[in-house]
């Protein structure tokens, strides 16, 4: 049994969700899981049971079934004081229903941490009977979501009392200094899943709409997984191979090198929660060009600490790219404001909130 320095037993928190970030676990939710696993609070003892990895179908099913059964068994055996599940939608609901109902049967308090970019739309799109099954599958003492608008969405879709849903913004570690903004050619970067939802094709079209002299002063790198080959084809078809490079998923060390060599972060998504990649880019001193969706407008104010463009508006996206390329002064002002805003999401406060929540429930 883990104990605090005071001699009291540490609160045993079981975290269930994607495997913490690594070669076989990608994306913002996996990054959050890794940060949670590293919680330094001596009052807390974290155990993580993964129910999802980025792998082939057989491996995903094996990890999912094993994680469902193991987490439920640990709870029923009495080894858990608080259950904390990371939830998306679809199959994630099935995987989390097992430990959640084990917690309900055992009397263990449960927290559901919602990361979905469109949970309300997904749930309300199901037949009425399926909606009732989903609501019954997710018993929780507390819900956490990534923004105020998302809190309203979850409360409405799940028919929860508003007080049961709290906002816990994603965290970021603030580096001691920003990356350099002096460059012969402005480097913009988009990291993560590539595809329509992330606005990858809109980036290509926006670059193609730029004048030749702006394109000569700007280079965009898109790196991630998803529709990588399709985005490469779009770059070739648009004739912008001189200004846009598409790369496969890159690991943490290479990601840090790319960010350090860049000045602009581009994420014109159609749906989001609160992207970890966005907060990380702001923290290291990149100008964010993104969309006012999900929790993003609560982190980025247009013209103050970033530029917001309507999803699908490639004309506005091109104008934003041109502005940050041509105007180094405006770029520097946005960088300073973005770093200051990122400090509001500094990770120490996040750990404090979680510690208070878990110890309070236990």
Instruction: Summarize pLDDT for 96-107 with one digit per residue, the tens.
Output: 999 999 999 999
Judgement on whether residues 276 and 351 belong to the same structural domain of the protein = no
Q: Are residues 216 and 131 in the same domain?
A: no
220 forms bridges with which residues in the sheet?
188, 244
Q: Per-residue pLDDT tens for 223-244?
A: 999 999 999 999 999 999 999 9
DSSP 257-313: HHHHT-SEEEE--SS-S--HHHHHHHHHTPEEEE-S-TTGGGT--BTTTBEE--TT-
Q: Read off φ and ψ for residue 286, nearest 5 degrees.
A: -105, 145
Quote the pLDDT of residue 27: 84
Rounded CA-CA distance 5/327 in Å is 54
Residue 174: per-residue pLDDT: 85
pLDDT at 3: 53
Using the predicted structure, report yes or no on whether residue 275 has a pLDDT greater than 80. yes
| Statement to judge: residues 83 and 223 lie in one domain | no
How many whole angstroms from its chain centre is CA 200?
17
User: 230 and 214 share a domain?
Assistant: yes
Both 160 and 289 in one domain: the answer is no
**319-to-86, 109, 123, 244, 342 alpha-carbon distances in Å:** 37, 49, 36, 17, 24
**Does the residue 181 lie in any domain?**
no
280 and 139, same structural domain? no
Confidence (pLDDT) at 74: 97
Mention every residue, 6+ apart, whose C-beta is less than 8 A from residue 201.
231, 234
How much is the mean pLDDT over the chain? 92
Model confidence at 193: pLDDT above 70: yes
pLDDT, tens digit, 9 for 90 and up, residues 146-167: 999 899 999 999 999 878 899 9
CA separation for the pair 26, 71 (Å, rounded): 21
In the prediction, which pLDDT does 182 show? 60
- Please indicate, yes or no, whether residues 324 and 351 belong to a single structural domain of this protein: no
Same domain, 329 and 353: no
In contact, 193 and 27? CB cutoff 8 Å: yes
Instruction: Classify residue 4: in a domain, yes or no.
Output: no
Q: Which residues of 103-119 are buried (b: 16+ CB within 10 A; e: fewer)?
A: bbeeebbbbbbbbbbbb
**Residues 20, 119 share a domain:** yes
Tens digits of per-residue pLDDT, 338-355? 999 999 999 999 999 999
- Does residue 1 carry a pLDDT above 80? no
Instruction: Report the number of distinct structural domains present in the chain.
Output: 2
Strand order in the sheet with 186-194: 244-247, 218-226, 186-194, 264-267, 287-290, 307-308
Total Cβ atoms within 10 A of residue 334: 28
Whether 30 has a pLDDT exceeding 60, the answer reads yes
Domain co-membership, 95 together with 135? yes
Span 72-101, average pLDDT = 96
Q: What's the pLDDT band for 321 if we cut at 50, 70, 90? A: very high
Q: What pLDDT shows up at residue 134?
A: 96
- Say how far apart CA 193 and CA 308 lie, in whole Å: 20
Q: Could you tell me whether strands 244-247 and 264-267 are parallel, antiparallel, or unpaired per DSSP bridges?
A: unpaired
- pLDDT score of 175: 83
- pLDDT one-digit tens code per residue, 294-320: 999 999 999 999 999 999 999 999 999
Whether residues 74 and 200 fall in one domain:
no
Cα 309 versus chain centre, distance: 19
Cα 23 to Cα 220: distance, rounded to the nearest angstrom: 24
């Amino acid at each position: 049994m883990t104990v605090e320095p005071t001699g009291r037993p540490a609160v045993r928190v079981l975290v269930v969700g994607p495997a913490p970030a690594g070669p076989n676990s990608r994306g913002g939710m996996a990054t959050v899981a890794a940060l949670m696993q590293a919680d330094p609070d001596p009052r807390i003892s974290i155990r993580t049971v993964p129910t999802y990895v980025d792998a082939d179908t057989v491996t995903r099913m094996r990890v999912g079934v094993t994680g469902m059964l193991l987490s439920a068994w640990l709870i029923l055996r009495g080894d858990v004081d608080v259950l904390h599940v990371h939830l998306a939608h679809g199959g994630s609901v099935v995987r989390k229903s097992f430990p959640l109902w084990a917690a309900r049967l055992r009397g263990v308090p449960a927290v559901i941490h919602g990361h979905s970019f469109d949970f309300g739309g997904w749930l309300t799109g199901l037949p009425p009977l399926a909606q009732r099954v989903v609501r019954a599958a997710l018993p929780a003492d507390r819900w956490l979501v990534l923004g105020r608008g998302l809190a309203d969405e979850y409360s409405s879709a799940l028919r929860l009392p508003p007080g049961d849903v709290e906002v816990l913004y994603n965290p970021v570690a603030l580096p001691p200094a920003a990356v350099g903004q002096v460059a012969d050619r402005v480097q913009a970067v988009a990291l993560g899943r590539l595809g329509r939802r992330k606005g990858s094709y809109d980036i290509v079209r926006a670059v193609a709409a730029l004048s030749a002299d702006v394109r000569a002063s700007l280079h965009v790198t898109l790196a991630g997984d998803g529709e990588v080959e399709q985005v490469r084809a779009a770059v070739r078809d648009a004739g912008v191979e001189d200004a846009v490079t598409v790369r496969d998923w890159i690991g943490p060390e290479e990601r840090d090198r790319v960010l350090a060599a860049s000045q602009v972060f581009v994420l014109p998504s159609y749906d989001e929660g609160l992207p970890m990649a966005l907060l990380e880019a702001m923290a290291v001193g990149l100008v964010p060009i993104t969309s006012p969706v999900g929790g993003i407008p609560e982190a980025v104010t247009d013209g103050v600490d970033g530029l917001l463009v309507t999803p699908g508006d490639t004309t506005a996206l091109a104008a934003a790219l041109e502005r940050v390329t041509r105007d180094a002064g405006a770029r520097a002002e946005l960088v300073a404001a973005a770093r200051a805003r990122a400090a509001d999401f500094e990770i120490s406060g996040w750990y404090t909130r979680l510690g208070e929540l878990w110890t309070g429930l236990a």
